[in-house]
Homo-oligomer: A and B are copies of this chain.
């Protein structure tokens, strides 16, 4: 469900926050849906439980998630959460910039990159 990479240099809790935001944004996580438990995520990704909790905590502060003690964290249903295509494309910008900067610095042809991209998605 999530892709956590402790070696990436990006703080784990930030990786998790961004990925949860995306899945809410797309509607794969809907208002009322339960999130995986802190301990479960900590186990499956070999990470400390408090690190997961920190991500949940901050998303709750943002209003994206709702907490009920003793129960699983859920996606908040107060807000208009899932976003239209244009909004979701905006969330892609950082990853897109990363790729174009790398493509440029490596002097690669964008069409080659696109071919690679298509292959990666198809499989």
Contact = CB atoms under 8 A, between A and B. Distances in A.
Contacts of A19: 101, 105
A109 to B, nearest CB: 8
A62 interface: no
Interface centre among A22, A106, A121 (most CB of B within 10 A): A106
Contact of A99 (B26, B89, B96, B112): B96
- How many copies of this chain are found per oligomer? 2
Q: How large is the interface on A (under 10, 10 to 19, 20 to 34, 35 or more residues)?
A: 35 or more
Tell me the dominant secondary structure on chain A's binding face.
helix
A100 interface: yes
Given A92-B103, A99-B117, A113-B117, 12 more contacts: A9-B14, A26-B105, A26-B106, A85-B108, A91-B102, A92-B106, A95-B95, A96-B116, A96-B120, A100-B117, A110-B118, A110-B121
